[in-house]
Structure 1
Amino acid sequence: MTQEETLKAIVKEKYSQIALQDKEYNAASCCGATGCCGGDEVYNIMSDDYTQLEGYNADADLGLGCGIPTAFAQMKEGDTVIDLGSGAGNDAFVARKIVGPTGKVIGIDFSEAMLEKARTNADKVGFNNVEFRLGDIEQMPVAANRADVVLSNCVLNLVPNKPAVFAEILRVLKPGGHFSISDIVLQGELPGKWKEVAELYAGCVSGAIQKEEYLRIIKQTGFANITVQKEKTIVIPDELLQEYLTADEMETYKNGSVKILSITVYAEKPAACCTPGAGCC
C-alpha cells in the first residue's frame, strides 16, 4: 500500500467511526478535571454554527466542518450542486433548500457509514432532490459538465492528491460554473511531528498545505476569478496541544508565525468559447 493509500485509509476509518456517534459526543471535549484522555475534539474545534440556516437538519450536523460554504456559494433555484465529502448530509440539506424542487444536490463520500447516515437522514424527511453516492472525490462518479456549483467543507485538506481533486472539480462543473470550498490551510511551517500523527491528519490539521500553494493549485488547474471569501485563524486549545507537543514545543508554536487558517475559496470554470478558433479559451 502506498503512503497515499495509507493516509486515505486512515481518514476513511476515523470518519466511519465518527459517523456512528452523535454531534454532542463529537463536540464534547474530554479534557477536564480528570485530565486529557484524547478523543474527537480534534475534529470539531474548527466548526461553524449552522443552526440558523434554512434547511438545517440537526441529525446531519456532526460538527465536522471548518466554514459554511453554502453561505458563499451563490446557489440559485434550479441549480445542480455537488457536495464533496458530504458526510451525514449537513451542507447537502442546506443546499437543497436553496436550489428548490427543480434543483438537484449530489453528495459524494467514500465512507459507507457516512453514506448510510446521510441516506437515513434524507429518508426521514422525505427529501427527493438530494442523493448520496459512494465514491472517491479524486475520481467522482459524476459525468462531465454536470454541476452548476461544487461545495466542500473541510474535506480537500484530507486528500493527499489535491491537484487531482481540483482537476475533477473542473471536469464536473459546467462551463461558467463555480465552486465554493471551505478548507484548512497553513501559513508557516507546522511542527514536523504533527504530520506524522494520524489523529491530526484525520482531524484536518497535518494534511493541510500552505495557503499560497493551495491557491496556486487552483490557478494552475485552470480556474478563473479566484477569491478568498472568508478567512479565520484556528486556535488549537492548550489541552489538545499538550497531547502532541512538549512544553517547549508548545511555547515555540504559540509565539511563532505559524497559523492554521480556515478559508472559504470561490473560483469559476471558464465559459466555453462562443466561436471555435476565436482564441478565447
Structure 2
Amino acid sequence: MSEPSDPSTESGLDARTQRKVVRERYARIATEGSDAESSCCSSDSSCGSPDEESTSSDETARQLGYSDGDLESVDGNANLGLGCGNPQAIASLNSGESVLDLGSGAGFDCFLAAQEVGASGRVIGVDMTPEMVEKARANASQNDAEHVEFRLGEIEHLPVSDDSIDVIISNCVVNLSPNKPQVFDEAFRVLRPGGRLAISDVVLTAAVPDEVRADPDSVASCVAGASTIDRLESMLTETGFESVSISPKDDSDEFIRDWDDDYDVSEFLVSASITARKPAVDDT
C-alpha cells in the first residue's frame, strides 16, 4: 500500500479534507435522515447506514448486535441505523459510572448507556457535527434523559476535563479520524486511572485498493480510514493503555460485504471489538 498524502492519516486525503467530508456527510444524515445515505460504504453511503429499499434502521441495529429490548427502550429517532457493532455489549457499565461516547451522533448509544449507569451516573456525547448535536439534544428531551448531555467538539480535542470519565465508548467513529494517535491521547487524558475503553470499529485485514483509499466518499463511510490491528495496538500501547484487546467479529462480513456496490469490502475490512484500560496508578 502506498503512503497516504498526509502522514497522520490512514487515507489518501489530507486531514483538513477528511474532516470536511466526514462533517458534511453526517450533517446531511442528521437533517435528512439515514435514508439520505444508502449503505455503509458505497459512494452514496455512511457508516452502517441502511439500504432504504431493504433494511430499516431497526433491522440494521439488530445485525449489529442490539436487542429488541434496546430498540424499544429508546424513544424518538436516536437510532439512525449507523455503526458496525454494539459497544454496550463490551463496556460492562455499572451504576454510577461516568461514560463518554466519541462521535455520539443522534444519541442512541448514550441513551442506552444512561439506562445502565442510572440516575447516579452521567453520560456525555461528543460529536463534531452541529446538526447531530442538535438532533441528539432534542432526543434527550424526548427520552427524559436528564443525566445525558451532548457537546460539540472533535474527538481529537475533547471538550472534557482530565481524569473525569470511567468508560469511553464509540461506535465506528475512530476510523473516521485523520489523527487516531491524538484520539487515543485524548481518551487517555480524560479517563480516570483505572478507566476503560470499549469501542466497536472497523479494522483492516488487507490493503485497501488505491482508488478506494483516495475516494472522499469511501473515507467518510468508514472504509478508507481504517487501521490494521497491529497499528491500532501500537497506538494504544504507545499512548499508555494496558490490557489492549482487539477482537475481530467473524460474522461481520454478513453486513460489511454489502457496504459498497463495486467492491466486496469484507475482503479487506472487518468489524472488531477494541478494549483497553488506563493503568490504575498513572506513573507517567
Fold shared, TM-score > 0.5 on shorter chain: yes
> What does residue 18 of structure 1 align with?
29
- Give me the whole-angstrom Cα distance separating, in 1, the residues matched to 2:96 and 2:150: 18
- Give me the whole-angstrom Cα distance separating, in 1, the residues matched to 2:171 and 2:47: 16
Give the 5 Å matches for 1:22-171: 22-23=33-34, 25=35, 39-40=44-45, 43-44=48-49, 48-54=64-70, 55-57=73-75, 59-171=77-189
> What does residue 56 of structure 2 align with?
none
Q: Tell whether the 8 Å contact from 2:203 to 2:271 is kept in structure 1 after alignment.
A: yes
Structure index of larger Rg: 1
Name segments (4+ residues, structure 1) moved above 4 Å: 26-29
Give the aligned CA root-mean-square deviation in angstroms. 2.4
- Give me the whole-angstrom Cα distance separating, in 2, the residues matched to 1:168 and 1:107: 15
Runs (5+) with no aligned partner, structure 1? 30-36, 274-279
Matched, 1:237 2:237: no
- Give me the whole-angstrom Cα distance separating, in 2, the residues matched to 1:164 and 1:63: 27
- Give me the whole-angstrom Cα distance separating, in 1, the residues matched to 2:46 and 2:152: 27
Q: Tell whether the 8 Å contact from 2:47 to 2:83 is kept in structure 1 after alignment.
A: no
Q: TM-score by structure 1 length?
A: 0.83
Q: TM-score by structure 2 length?
A: 0.82
Q: Which amino acid aligns with 1:52?
A: D
Deviation at residue 193 of structure 1 after TM alignment: 0.6
Q: 1:181 to 1:191 in 2, by over 3 A?
A: same
Q: How many residues align?
A: 254
Q: Tell whether the 8 Å contact from 2:176 to 2:219 is kept in structure 1 after alignment.
A: yes
Q: Which amino acid aligns with 1:7?
A: Q
> What does residue 279 of structure 2 align with?
270
Higher relative contact order (CA 8 A, sep 6+): 2
Q: Percent identity?
A: 37
- Give me the whole-angstrom Cα distance separating, in 2, the residues matched to 1:107 and 1:210: 26
Q: Tell whether the 8 Å contact from 2:100 to 2:167 is kept in structure 1 after alignment.
A: yes
Q: Tell whether the 8 Å contact from 2:25 to 2:46 is kept in structure 1 after alignment.
A: no
- Give me the whole-angstrom Cα distance separating, in 2, the residues matched to 1:39 and 1:150: 30
> What does residue 195 of structure 1 align with?
213
